[in-house]
Amino acid sequence: MNIIIFGTGGHAKVVLDAARAAQHNICGVVDDRWSLPIWRDVPHLGNRLNLPDIVGKYLNAAWIVAIGDAGIRREVVTQLEKLGVVFAVVIHPTAVLGTGVQVGSGSIVMAGTILQADVHVGRHAIINTASTVDHDCQISDYVHLSPGVHLAGNVCVEEAAHLGIGACSIPGVRIGRYSTVGAGAVVIEDIPSDVVAVGCPAKIIKRKEKNDAN
């Protein structure tokens, strides 16, 4: 598959490696912050100002938005949707996917991850390096599971929630939309929306204002 990557940050570096490992052809990258003609031996095609021209030139390419921040990722996705692009799914070949797993468009499944039977991953989500998601979990749109996150079965992670590196959960809990679970936290009860929870067990330390949410 021909792919254009939006982004040139650290997350984009890992997405580039995963896409190449999965034998995708990288047509180029788009980013507002990069000005040189080449990024990591990939052509820099331009920025958001000339997106219509880029989309028109690469009609046979699918896009992946390689931005870790869910709010910015959503902004870029919305702009690309208005231009009618198709979004890719990037799954590293070392990832293990059980029976019945579904991964939505624009989502990324990194190296060493395990998605067990009947896991559902929504659109534009990030399942980062060596995370494990057990049976029947529901991972909603724009969720970010950081490296080494471990979810037991039947966990629901709602839209744009972010679990920090090494966070884990017991079975059956729900993590609310736009909430952040800190690195190494252990979730043993439901986490509501729009909060920050840290610790073992995870406890709420902050309620997010609307402009703090992803």
Q: Show which residues are catalytic.
A: 135
| 3-state secondary structure (DSSP) of residue 84 | coil
Whole-angstrom distance, CA of residue 17 vs CA of residue 40? 10
CB 156 within 8 A of CB 138: yes
Neighbour order of strands in the sheet with 174-175: 102-103, 120-121, 138-139, 156-157, 174-175
Rounded to an integer, what distance in angstroms lies between the CA atom of residue 75 and that of residue 151? Answer: 28
The upper half-sphere exposure of residue 87, i.e. CA atoms within 13 Å in the direction of its Cβ, equals 25
C-alpha–C-alpha distance, residues 212 and 214, integer Å = 7
User: HSE (CB half, 13 Å, CA atoms) of 48?
Assistant: 14
The DSSP letter of residue 189 is: S
Q: DSSP labels for 36-71?
A: SSEETTEEEEE-GGGHHHHHHH-TT-EEEE--S-HH
